[in-house]
Amino acid sequence: MDAWVEGKEYAIPTDLYIPPDALQVILETTFEGPLDLLLYLIRRHNLDIIAINVANITHQYIAYIELMEAHQFELAGEYLVMAATLAEIKSRSLLPRTQLLDDEEEDPRVRLIKQLQEYERFKTASERVADLPRMGRDNFPVTMAMPDVKQVRPQPLVAMEELLCAYKDVLKRCDMYEHHTISRERLSTRERMSRVMLQLQEHQFMAFYALFDVTEGRMGVVVTFLAIMELVKEKLIKLVQAQEFGPIHVSLGGQHESPNQELAL
């Protein structure tokens, strides 16, 4: 006895005991229906579908049905219908030809051959499709987790030209408050440096314009600017700018860590 498993034929040893339940799985999963079983018997003997020996095929088909019944399998009605069809074809082959010509119905042998040819075409096509590479069976997609790359935008340096433009803007605003007064006021750069440091110690981070008092006139603005430049030189304060041509801010050097860039002097 031979068994078919996943489309391959295997010879079963005579001394091998197979439980009926296991044999039932093999027989039921091998064939998909009566046409599949019939096509298997035809291919096994290398027969042409058109020129099949119905008597021989019928004998083997019924023997297979009896084998399934012997193991107490529940046969589908379509298997029994095919067995009856083969028996009818076999009996018609024994009748005289003149009697067959009087029969108006279609020859069941011709009808069966058409069904087998059509089933063979679909079965061959399905086998070719099954052999094609399949995603999840033969091919597996490769997925890689991309690292979270954060683009760091470098902050532009504060150019000296922009610093001078800001200084000129302060001078222009200072001229608006200038009036003719005769007074002598001594302005010290060191004292102004101390005042700037006190302001930054209180606020930590201030706008460049906020360090100037335009009511002091041009002289006061000049002294404050010189004090700021001296503090930058001594690295006691830092000039920072968030973006190019943006407002300039001042922070304490070494005490207030800013994400922006320092003044390019």
Q: Tell me what pLDDT residue 48 has.
A: 75
> How far apart are alpha carbons 114 and 203 in whole angstroms?
97
Q: Is 161 helix (H, G, I), strand (E, B) or coil?
A: helix
Domain range list for the chain:
31-131, 160-252
pTM of the model: 0.38
What would the two tokens of residue 47 be? 């027969």
Torsion of CA 218, 221, 225, 230, to 10 degrees: 100
Q: What is the pLDDT of residue 256?
A: 45
- 160-252 in CATH: which number? 1.10.10.580
Dihedral (CA of 53, 51, 112, 70) sign? positive
CA 75 to chain centre: 47
Q: Mind listing the pLDDT tens digit of every residue in the chain (265 residues)?
A: 555 555 566 666 665 554 544 444 445 446 777 888 788 877 777 777 776 667 777 777 777 777 776 665 566 577 778 878 877 777 777 766 655 555 556 677 788 888 888 888 888 888 888 888 877 777 777 777 777 777 777 666 777 788 888 888 888 877 776 665 655 556 788 999 999 999 999 888 899 888 998 888 888 888 999 999 999 888 899 888 888 778 888 988 765 444 444 444 4
In sequence order, what are the beta bridge partners of 2?
Answer: 11
pLDDT of residue 23: 44
Q: What is the pLDDT of residue 194?
A: 92
The pLDDT value recorded for residue 196 is 92
Locate 123 and state its tokens.
């079965």
